[in-house]
Chains A and B, each alone.
Chain A
Amino acid sequence: MTAQAGPATRPPSLAVRVAVRNQVLLVLVIVAAAAAVTTGFLVVAPNRLISGRSIALWSAAGGGPTVAIGVLGALLLAASLSPPAKPLYCAVAVLASLLLLVVLATLGQASRSIAAGASPAARASPGAAFWIIATCAALAVIDALQRLGAGSLWRVMAVIAIGGGIVIMAMAGTFDTLSIAREYASRHQLFAEAVTRHMALVGGSVGPALLIGVPLGVAAIRTRRLQGPLFAVLNTLQTVPSIALFGLLIAPLSALVAAAPFFAGLGVGGIGPAPAIVALVLYALLPIVRNTVAGLAGVDHAVIEAARGMGLTGRQILWRIELPLALPVLLAGLRIVIVQTIGLAVVAALIGAGGLGTFVFEGLGQYALDLVLLGALPTIFMALAADFLLQTLAALLPGRAPG
Chain B
Amino acid sequence: MIALDHITKRYDGRPVVDDLSLDIPAGEFCVLLGSSGCGKSTTLRMINRLVPADAGTIRVGGEDVTRLPPEALRRRIGYVIQSTGLFPHWNVADNIATVPRLLKWPAVRVDARVCELLELLRLDPAVYRGKYPHQLSGGEQQRVGVARALAADPELLLMDEPFAAVDPITRDALQGEIARIHHRTRKTIVFVTHDIEEALRLATKIAIMDQGRIAQLGTPIELLEHPANDFVGDFIGRQGLGFKLLSVRRVADRLRRGEGAPGEPLSPDATLRDALSAMTARRTDRLPVADADGNPLGSIALSDLVR
**Chain A residues within 8 Å of B, Cβ to Cβ:** 300, 302-313, 316, 321, 324-325, 399-403
For chain B, residues 70 to 93, give those with C-beta under 8 angstroms from any C-beta of chain A. 70-75, 79, 81-91
* Residue from B74, B85, B134, B145 in contact with A311 in the complex, judged by beta carbons closer than 8 Å: B74
Interfacial residues, chain B to chain A (CB-CB below 8 A): 48, 50, 70-75, 79, 81-91, 98-99, 102, 132-134, 145, 148-149, 158
- A305 vs B74: C-alpha distance when bound (angstroms): 12
Residue of A nearest to B85 (CB): A306
5 of the cross-chain contacts (CB-CB < 8 Å) are: A302-B82, A309-B74, A310-B75, A310-B149, A313-B71
A305 and B88 contacting across the interface, CB-CB below 8 Å: no
- List residues of chain A with CB within 8 A of the CB of B88: 300, 303, 325, 401
| Cβ contact of A306, chosen from B86, B91, B102, B134, cutoff 8 A | B86
Cβ contacts under 8 Å, A313 to chain B: 71
Min CB distance A102 to B, Å, is 45
Q: Which residues of A contact B149 (CB under 8 A)?
A: 310
Please indicate which of the listed interface residues A300, A316, A401 has the most CB atoms of chain B within 10 Å of its own CB: A401
Determine the distance from Cα of A359 to Cα of B48 in the docked complex, in whole angstroms: 65
What is the minimal beta-carbon distance from B158 to any residue of chain A, in angstroms? 8
A303 close to B86 (CB less than 8 A)? yes
**A310-B89 contact given A302-B81, A402-B134, CB 8 Å threshold:** no
Number of A-B contacts (CB under 8 A): 71
Closest approach, in angstroms, between the C-beta of B5 and any C-beta of chain A?
A: 23
- What chain A residues lie within 8 Å of B145 (beta carbons)? 306
- B89 A306 Cβ-Cβ under 8 A: no
A325 touching B98 by the CB < 8 A rule?
A: no
* A316–B50 alpha-carbon span in the complex (Å): 16
Interface centre among A304, A308, A311, A325 (most CB of B within 10 A): A311
CA distance A185 to B71 in the complex (A): 66
The complex places the Cα of A98 from the Cα of B4 at a distance, in Å, of 77
Who on chain B is nearest to A325 by CB?
B89
Cα(A321)–Cα(B85), bound, Å = 11
Tell me the bound Cα distance from A401 to B99 in angstroms: 22
The reply to whether A399 and B74 contact each other, CB–CB distance below 8 Å, is: no
Q: Do B132 and A401 have beta carbons less than 8 Å apart?
A: yes
B244 to chain A, nearest CB (A): 32
Q: Does more than half of chain A's interface fall in helix, strand or loop, or is it mixed?
A: helix
Write the chain A residue with the least CB distance to B91: A399
Q: Are B134 and A305 in contact (CB under 8 A)?
A: no
C-alpha gap A312/B48 in the complex (Å): 13
* B89 & A309 in contact (Cβ 8 Å cutoff): no
Taken together as a complex, chains A and B put the C-alpha atoms of A311 and B68 apart, in Å, by 12
From A306, A311, A316, A402, give the contact of B81 (CB < 8 A).
A306
Q: 15 new A-B pairs (CB below 8 Å) besides A303-B87, A313-B71?
A: A303-B88, A306-B79, A306-B86, A307-B87, A309-B50, A309-B85, A309-B158, A310-B102, A311-B102, A312-B98, A312-B102, A399-B90, A401-B88, A401-B133, A401-B134
By the criterion CB–CB under 8 Å, are A399 and B89 in contact?
yes
CB-defined contacts of A324 to chain B, threshold 8 Å: 89
Which residue in chain B gives the minimum CB-CB distance to A304?
B85
Q: Which residues of B contact A305 (CB under 8 A)?
A: 50, 81, 85
Task: Report Cα–Cα, A403/B75, bound state, in Å.
Answer: 29
Decide if A310 touches B84 in the complex (CB within 8 Å).
no
Residue numbers in A under 8 Å from B148 (CB-CB): 310
Pairwise interchain contact A308-B74, C-beta atoms closer than 8 A: yes
Q: Which residues of the other chain, A, contact B83 by a CB distance below 8 angstroms?
A: 300, 302
The complex places the Cα of A325 from the Cα of B132 at a distance, in Å, of: 14
Q: State how many angstroms separate the Cβ of B285 from the closest Cβ of chain A.
A: 50
Report if A310-B132 is in contact (Cβ < 8 Å); known contacts: A399-B91, A400-B89: no
Closest 7 CB pairs of A and B: A306-B85, A311-B74, A309-B79, A311-B75, A302-B83, A401-B134, A302-B85
**Contacting B73 at CB < 8 Å: which of A306, A311, A399, A403?**
A311
Q: Cβ of A303 and Cβ of B134 under 8 Å apart?
A: no
In the assembled complex, the Cα of A223 lies from the Cα of B79 at a distance in Å of 27
CB neighbours (8 Å) of B132 from chain A are: 399, 401
- Separation in Å of the B135 CB from the closest CB of chain A? 8
Q: Which residues from A are CB-within-8-Å of B50?
A: 305, 308-309
A339 to chain B, nearest CB (A): 26
Provide the residues of chain A in CB contact with B90, threshold 8 Å.
Answer: 399
Residues of B within 8 A of A399 (CB): 89-91, 132
* A400 surroundings in chain B (CB, below 8 A): 89
Q: How far is the CB of A144 from chain B (nearest CB, A)?
A: 30
Name the A residues within 8 Å of B158 (CB-CB): 309
Residues of chain A within 8 A of B81, CB atoms compared = 302, 305-306, 309
Q: Which residues of B contact A310 (CB under 8 A)?
A: 74-75, 79, 98-99, 102, 148-149
Contact A401:B89 (CB < 8 A) given known A310-B102, A312-B102: yes
Question: Measured between alpha carbons, how far is A300 from B132 in the docked complex, in Å?
Answer: 16
B72: A residues at CB distance < 8 A = 311
Nearest CB in chain A: distance from B160 CB, A: 9
CB distance B48 to A309 under 8 Å?
yes
How distant is B49 from chain A, measured CB to nearest CB, in Å?
A: 10
**B140: shortest Cβ distance to chain A, in Å?**
15
User: In the complex, what residues of B have CB within 8 A of residue A302's CB?
Assistant: 81-85
> How far is A305 from B44 in the complex, measured between Cα atoms in Å?
14
Give the shortest distance, in Å, between B177 (CB) and chain A (any CB). Answer: 19
A312-B71 contact given A302-B81, A306-B84, CB 8 Å threshold? yes
| A66 CB, min distance to chain B CBs, angstroms | 54
Chain A residue numbers with a CB within 8 Å of B74 are 308-311
User: Chain B nearest CB: distance from A301 CB in Å?
Assistant: 9
Shortest Cβ distance from A309 into B: residue:
B79
Chain A residues with CB below 8 A from B133, complex form: 401
* Residues of B with C-beta under 8 A to A304: 85
Min CB distance A95 to B, Å, is 38
Q: Flag if A307 contacts B89 (CB, 8 Å).
A: no
> CA–CA, A364 to B255, complex, Å?
102
B85 touches A303 (CB 8 A): yes
| Nearest-Cβ distance from residue B282 to partner chain A, whole angstroms | 46
